[in-house]
Amino acid sequence: MYMFSRMGAVLAPVLLSALAAFAAPAPWVVALDKAQDKAPVVLVLQERDGKLAGEAFLSLLDSTAATTDVSKLTRTDDTLKGDVTVTIDKDKTGTYKLDGTVKDNILTGSYKGKTGDTDVEGTISWGQELLPLGHALFLPSAAHPVGFRGDYTGCFPAATPVSSWEDKYGTELGKNVIWKTPMPTRTNSTPIVVGNKVFTLADPDLLICADALTGKILWQKQVDHLVLWPADEAKKAREAWNQQLSLYYEYETGLQEEWLLKGGGPLPPVKVTDAEVRTARIKKLVEEKNLALAGDTKGRQGYDLVRKRFASGSGFNDFGKAQVQICGELYAKYGFNFEQWRSWITYTHRTPTSDGKFVYVAMGYGQVACYDLDGNMKWMQFLHPSGKAFSPRKGYEQPGQGTGPCPSPILIGDLLIVHGKSKGDQDRKLQDRNRVVAIDKNTGKILWEASICSLCSVKTPIGIRVGGVDYIVLARGGGVLRASDGKRMDPDVKDAGGYPNMASNGNRVFFNWCANTDANPGESFIAAMDFDDKGASKEIWRTQVPGACFIGPTAWKGMLYLPSSRPPGVIYSVQQSDGKTNRVVIKKKNGSSVGPYPVTPPSVAGDKVFWADAEVGTILITETGADLKEVNRMRMVEDFHVDEGSLANTGKPTLDEFLKKYGTDKDRFSGVFFLSGGPFFQGGRMYLRTSEYLYCIGDATKTFQSPNGVK
């Protein structure tokens, strides 16, 4: 009885929300095509308490919300007639008379009126695809897809998120945590929302679909590129790879334990030990050394040394050398490598993207695939990460060193743009190590490929449209490619140096990079560049900020927002017009600070900015604007994440709990980020992925509005 009551208390808000959603007629979203400065006004019309209510947005670009009076507007099943008033600001009001008809589920008609003192007229039509990102009724489309950081910008202007919640250990739900669903393994990608479904990834190759209302997993698919090989060969390849993973974990654990026991220093060869002996050694290390298990520099250095030795085969006993050769063969043919599984750059580092009908994924082995919303695969490509055979010492992409491309795929019209490896070797002076690939999203056919500098492959590209032509802007001197054919237009975006990042506002692109040179140690630069209709760039301004800003900016309404990585606990607001910068220091509060390492740019949701720290799980919430006034500071917890890097500091989880978990999830031992992908906002809900869970955070008492079925 108690269990039933407790479950009822947890599920009641969700069930009430679902029942309320079905009670009212479906909302209408109507676009007035040229009502505001030749841009559309978008009306959202829905029944509330038996009366027609409305809200309006003035344009897709700035997504400004407006006050709406629809008291003189009448909606029936097949007509929309009457007057609507949209208050743009205190000095400007739009009044429009609508005359529309619905036939075969298609809205047609016209409007006439005034915007301010200007006479306007035009046509009306359905406008759901014109809703700004973050609106509860937003639905992705070919014209407005979703993917990395929402729609690739990190801005959710119509979102209305909560600014406080309580996360608890385990599956228990705290305040404003509507649901949290355990995930099989970690990922660094961002979840995306398509209608009533949430899509996320899990290492090494899982695509997971969850119900946006309840968090229930609807389906999951292994994005298995071995289906492209004959069945018998694929089976042998899977068995060989699984065996190597098991051996590699065993070997790496032994090496790292030995290194830590000695207090650092050279790594001697260590024989493989059985699980019981290994667990006992870990327990001894934890109890006697107060071993830092998360976010620990020494642990990270130990792992890096293990990785390099495994890659080269040097310093290994006979066992290690034999495994290197086997792994090299698996990599050369099938793209398998260890690096992304064990480093913070996961196999599933790249966020899926969707046009509302299909979901497109790009994984760490080189597999690219398209699925419908029910999990049926439409097509798959394998972009092999190497053009050459493997050589343990000199060859291209030794196992453990090939992180694979990090950028997420983006959609531009009918093109899926993906980064991939290409011919070349590990010499960074070579300029053909990576490639950009354009794939027909409908068929999976590769349309063109363009070779780019290897250092351009660490950031997701930006798509811009100038003069009716689509261009792809690449990071770190990668230049600009014409989307239609991959032709290089601007050969070098100047000085977009180490750790490049990008944000855009129309045809203006903002770059920030960290110099990390002897002349400018830890100094960062921000530059604004405009692009013309030929794809050529012109620098408008450049400014310098103290500290190392490895993470990119977010551009919204005249401002840029970006965090500092070194020193941590510093955030910046930058004027888009001239680069004027305001530095804000975030002080510790109840032992909580922003830092030590943000790994994703901030997200703008409504009038707030969300800043996430990956290691300790803090989410700082500030107001938008130059001053970045703090609103709140929240904390995510993980069942087996060790607060402040030490078990001794928390007492939770217990040592036995940690050791039990260690057998299947070893990334805590190497100091791995658990909050890396950034949030996705829809209406009043925030969807967030950590190492352990997929979250839905919001006010559970408010009605869940489904974007499906909206007219």
- 144 near 151, Cβ under 8 Å? yes
Strand stretches in 507-569, DSSP E:
508-514, 524-531, 537-545, 554-556, 559-563
Q: Which of 163, 161, 182 is nearest to 173 (CA)?
A: 182
- CA–chain centroid gap for 646, Å, is 28
DSSP 188-204: -SPPEEETTEEEEEETT
155-156 and 603-605 as β-strands: parallel, antiparallel, unpaired? parallel
pTM (predicted TM-score)? 0.83
Please tell me the predicted confidence (pLDDT) of residue 391.
Answer: 30
Task: Give the whole-angstrom CA distance, residue 635 versus residue 619.
Answer: 6
Task: Give the whole-angstrom CA distance, residue 329 versus residue 314.
Answer: 18
What single letter denotes the amino acid at residue 651?
A: G
- 134 near 605, Cβ under 8 Å? yes
Q: Which of 178, 181, 160 is nearest to 170 (CA)?
A: 181
Please tell me the predicted confidence (pLDDT) of residue 400.
Answer: 32
446-452 and 462-466 as β-strands: parallel, antiparallel, unpaired? unpaired
Where the chain has pLDDT below 70, the residues are 1-24, 59-64, 90-91, 244-328, 337-345, 385-405, 420-433, 453-458, 476-478, 491-500, 515-522, 588-597, 615-616, 638-676
Task: Give the whole-angstrom CA distance, residue 628 versus residue 611.
Answer: 11
DSSP 35-102: EETTEEEEEEEEEETTEEEEEEE--TTT--EEEEE-TTEEE-SSEEEEEEEEEEETTEEEEEEEEEEE
Task: Give the whole-angstrom CA distance, residue 66 versus residue 436.
Answer: 41
DSSP 613-632: -TTT-EEEEEESSSS--EEE
Residue 304: how many CB atoms within 10 A of its CB? 12
Whole-angstrom distance between the N-terminal and C-terminal Cα of the chain? 43
Please tell me the predicted confidence (pLDDT) of residue 615.
Answer: 64
Please tell me the predicted confidence (pLDDT) of residue 18.
Answer: 46
Q: Which of 337, 349, 490, 482 is nearest to 415 (CA)?
A: 482
